[in-house]
Amino acid sequence: MHEIRTLIVDDSSVMRKIVERSLRQAGLDPLVVYEAGNGAEGLDMLKSKDVDLILSDINMPSMDGLEFLRQIRAQKLAPGIPVVMITTESSEEHVKQAILAGARGYIRKPFTAEQVKERVLPLVNAA
Amino acid sequence: MAVSLRESVQLVSDPRNLDGSVEEVFQTMLGVDCRRDPGPIPQERESVTAVVGFGGLLSGACVFKSGSSTAIKIAAQMTGMEFSEVDDTVKDGIGELCNMLAGTWKGKVPDLAANCGLSVPAVITGRDYHLHVQAPEFKLDHTYRFDGASFGVTIICDGLQ
């Protein structure tokens, strides 16, 4: 099985580790993880790395997750690669904004590994 | 029609929303049962405070406060790592915990979830400091306990539209 190259974008290093652990618990293995602390770092990472999956927070300094999504599309980076938002913002309006900006999935913090499995695995398997 | 929370103060300030949010975040992210405790937070020399601001229909803040040993215990439970002091990773973990508490709490009231934003967390460590807020609209100040450790969570609302 080929490696699942995943970019995790979150300003919290603890949350990046928790997301990584949840992905492994969800059965995404072998997993290669790239980390970025905000949207701008995430864009830089996508210019130098090929990835199979992107998970991003929304509330971040420098460049938030929604702008990160818009810039991915505008700069034609990671075409066809699924992006899943993982965030404390859970209103329908936030979900709508994320989907309009190009997100394929949405996970609300706090989350369980089971929820990560349900939302992420089908996207990875379909890619 | 403009959304207003003025008529829903009782719903927004319902203490059960805060208790439910704390229980949910601790059960989901730490895998521990956490319950409201009538006692005060035991005093420690060093304490850790995380603040996440609310803006929009409600302005105010969600404040988490604990002694350093409880902060270390929470961060260890969240990450599976061991800590001997309140380092940057512990502060990061406590900030993120406060962010989830604030997000879960505001998510209990749909109009608040949709029309109230969160700031990025700020974390303060030190000794002998007090948080003072002048005449808030309402304030919830609860102590919680899990696995023999106590901490406080405060919701301060200083403006409601």
Q: Model confidence over B37-65: pLDDT tens digits?
A: 988 888 888 999 999 999 999 999 999 99
Q: How confident is the model at residue A1 (pLDDT cuts 50, 70, 90)?
A: low
pLDDT at B41: 85
pLDDT at B7: 72
Mean pLDDT value across residues A96-100 = 92
pLDDT per residue over B118-149, tens digit each? 999 999 998 878 878 788 889 999 999 999 99
Q: Is A5 exposed, middle or buried (0-12, 13-18, 19+ CB in 10 A)?
A: middle
Residue of chain B whose Cα is closest to the Cα of A14: B93
- Inspect the interface and report whether the beta carbons of A92 and B114 lie closer than 8 Å: yes
**Which DSSP letter does residue A7 get?**
E
pTM of the model: 0.93
- E-only strand ranges, chain B: 35-37, 47-56, 58-67, 116-118, 122-126, 138-146, 149-160
Query: Which comes out higher in pLDDT, residue A125 or A53?
Result: A53
Residue B6 pLDDT greater than 90, yes or no: no
Mean pLDDT value across residues B148-158 = 95
Query: Domain spanning B46-160 has what CATH number?
Result: 3.40.1550.10
Chain B interface disruption, residue of A11, A12, A13, A14, most B CBs within 10 A: A14
Residue B1 pLDDT greater than 60, yes or no: no
Q: Domains of chain A (ranges plus CATH)?
A: 4-126 (3.40.50.2300)
- Inspect the interface and report whether the beta carbons of A88 and B79 lie closer than 8 Å: no
What is the distance in angstroms between the Cα of B108 and the nearest Cα belonging to chain A? 10
pLDDT at B93: 98
Q: Which residue has the tokens 């003072």?
A: B132
- Inspect the interface and report whether the beta carbons of B107 and A108 lie closer than 8 Å: yes
CB of B3 within 8 Å of a chain A CB? The answer is no
pLDDT at A92: 84
A110 neighbourhood in chain B, CB within 8 Å: 24-25, 28-29, 100, 104
B21-25 CB contacts, 8 Å cutoff, 24+ apart: B21/B101, B21/B104, B21/B105, B21/B108, B22/B101, B22/B142, B22/B144, B22/B153, B24/A110, B24/B104, B25/A110, B25/B97, B25/B100, B25/B101, B25/B104
Residue count (chain A): 127
pLDDT per residue over A99-119, tens digit each? 999 999 999 999 999 999 999
Percent pLDDT > 70 in chain B is 98
Strand B138-146 and strand B149-160: the pairing is antiparallel
Mean pLDDT value across residues A65-82 = 95
ipTM: 0.89
- Inspect the interface and report whether the beta carbons of A88 and B24 lie closer than 8 Å: no
pLDDT at B87: 97
DSSP string, A37-84: SSHHHHHHHHHH---SEEEE-SS-SSS-HHHHHHHHHHTT-STT--EE
pLDDT per residue over B58-85, tens digit each? 999 999 999 999 999 999 999 999 999 9
Spans of all domains in chain B: 46-160
- Longest alpha-carbon distance in chain A: 38
Mean pLDDT value across residues B16-21 = 96
Q: How confident is the model at residue A79 (pLDDT cuts 50, 70, 90)?
A: very high
What is the distance in angstroms between the Cα of B150 and the nearest Cα belonging to chain A? 20
Q: How confident is the model at residue B99 (pLDDT cuts 50, 70, 90)?
A: very high
Q: How confident is the model at residue A120 (pLDDT cuts 50, 70, 90)?
A: very high
